[in-house]
């Protein structure tokens, strides 16, 4: 994209799974990429890119530090991907998740208000919706059933408020189950692929839990489209495929692609908090407004992820 050549861009969460893919894509397009990363963040996903990005070590909970970064670099676009991993297990973890998600986003929004940015792209989550017995639409009420979903929903509501109240050119993306090279190794797909390569047993959930699996490169493309297309401030878009698969169907695809049988212990793994029998995106709005269409079906995405794992192994 020609508009990215030389453009200053700020990414939070740029050392994470999706963020590292976005960083690479922006560098390939010739952008000047700046990352805010917390002290102690593992930067291994940025291997081969460190000499081409500007790293700002700090915490989004530091309002003054965030404003200094934004003021000094004057970003044209801000991609807000930072989020803590996993689901809280204790009250302390729950409060920390809420604090980091909501206040970290608030500090970034306040800094962006005065920066004259072209677009603020906020990475939300399908967890904001909670379960529905059909494909989820952007107009559906947010009724999350997990701590992480609540934290994500609160941040997205805040982004939409800044768009309405202050005219901030913000857009909200809500990806469904993102997978691909560099995904955390404890997740379903890298676990199944690793088991196919090593022969280790896999504890799988009981049959019937479904997810809409969207390949990470398609999510990156959605980010770029959200930055470039003309949209109303505060609009939200589902990023998925419109197709859902059970965990056991994903396992069957892994067996087909690798030519190896998996040693599955079905029912031995407890369900995750958001697991349900129906979790699929209605993506017609993204197709219509962003002109975004997922290019990677599940078999193709699994093959690409497998090839990457065979070269690099699991990420940390």
- Whether the pLDDT of residue 84 is over 90: the answer is no
| Displacement of CA 122 from its chain's centroid (Å) | 10
Does residue 211 carry a pLDDT above 70? Answer: yes
Q: What is the DSSP letter of 136?
A: B
DSSP annotation string for 251-278: HHHHHHHHT---EEEET-SPPPTT--S-
Flag whether pLDDT at 125 surpasses 50. Answer: yes
Structural domains present in the chain = 2-178+214-240+281-294 (3.40.50.720), 188-210+244-279+303-312 (3.90.25.10)
Cα dihedral: 46, 47, 52, 57 (round 10): 50
Q: Are strands 177-179 and 245-246 parallel, antiparallel or unpaired?
A: unpaired
Beta bridge partners of 264: 202
Lowest-confidence segment of 40-44, 152-156, 215-219, 291-295 by average pLDDT: 40-44
Instruction: With cut-offs at 50, 70 and 90, classify the pLDDT of residue 85.
Output: confident
3-class state of residue 211 by DSSP: strand
Whole-angstrom Cα distance, residue 132 to residue 307? Answer: 35
- The rounded distance, in Å, linking the Cα atoms of 34 and 54 is 5
pLDDT of residue 142: 97
pLDDT reading at 247 higher than 80: yes
pLDDT band at 316 (very low <50, low <70, confident <90, very high): very low
The DSSP bridge partners found for residue 178 are 214
Mean pLDDT of 135-162: 96
Integer-rounded Cα Rg, in Å, for the chain is 19
At residue 314, does pLDDT exceed 70?
A: no
Query: For the residues 39-51, what does the mean pLDDT come to?
Result: 93
Sequence-separated (6 or more) residues with CB below 8 Å from residue 230: none
Average pLDDT over residues 32-58: 95
The predicted pLDDT at position 272 comes to: 85
Average pLDDT in the chain = 95
> Rounded to an integer, what distance in angstroms lies between the CA atom of residue 155 and that of residue 297?
30
- Using the Cα atoms of residue 110, residue 148, residue 123 and residue 100 in order, give the sign of their dihedral: positive
Determine which of 23-32, 219-228, 282-291, 307-316 has the lowest per-residue pLDDT on average: 307-316
Structure tokens given for 25: 């894509």
């Amino acid at each position: 994209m020609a508009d990215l050549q030389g453009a200053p861009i700020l990414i939070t969460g740029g050392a994470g799974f999706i963020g590292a893919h976005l960083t690479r894509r922006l560098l390939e397009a010739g952008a000047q990429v700046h990352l805010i990363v917390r002290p102690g963040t593992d930067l291994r996903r940025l291997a081969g890119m460190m000499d081409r990005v500007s790293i700002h070590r700090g915490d989004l909970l530091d309002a003054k530090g965030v404003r200094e970064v934004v003021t000094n670099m004057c970003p044209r676009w801000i991609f807000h991907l930072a989020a803590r991993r996993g689901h809280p297990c204790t009250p302390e973890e729950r409060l920390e998740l809420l604090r980091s998600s909501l206040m970290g986003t608030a500090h970034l929004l306040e800094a962006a208000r005065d920066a004259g940015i072209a677009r603020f792209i906020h990475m939300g989550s399908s967890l904001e919706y909670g379960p529905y017995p059909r494909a989820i639409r952007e107009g559906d009420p947010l009724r999350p059933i997990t701590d992480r979903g609540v934290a994500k929903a609160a941040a997205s509501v805040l982004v939409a408020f800044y768009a309405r109240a202050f005219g901030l050119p913000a857009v909200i993306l809500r990806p469904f189950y993102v997978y691909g090279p560099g995904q955390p190794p404890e997740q379903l797909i890298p676990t199944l692929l690793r088991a196919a390569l090593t022969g280790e047993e896999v504890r799988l959930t009981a049959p019937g839990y479904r997810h809409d699996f969207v390949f990470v490169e398609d999510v990156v493309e959605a980010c770029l489209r959200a930055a470039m297309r003309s949209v109303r401030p505060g609009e939200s878009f589902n990023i998925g495929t419109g197709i859902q698969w059970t965990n056991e169907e994903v396992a069957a695809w892994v067996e087909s692609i690798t030519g190896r049988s998996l040693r599955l212990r079905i029912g031995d793994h407890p369900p995750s908090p958001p697991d349900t029998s129906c979790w699929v995106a209605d993506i017609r709005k993204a197709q219509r407004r962003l002109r975004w269409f997922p290019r990677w079906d599940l078999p193709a995405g699994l093959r690409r992820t497998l090839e990457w794992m065979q070269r690099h192994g699991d990420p940390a």
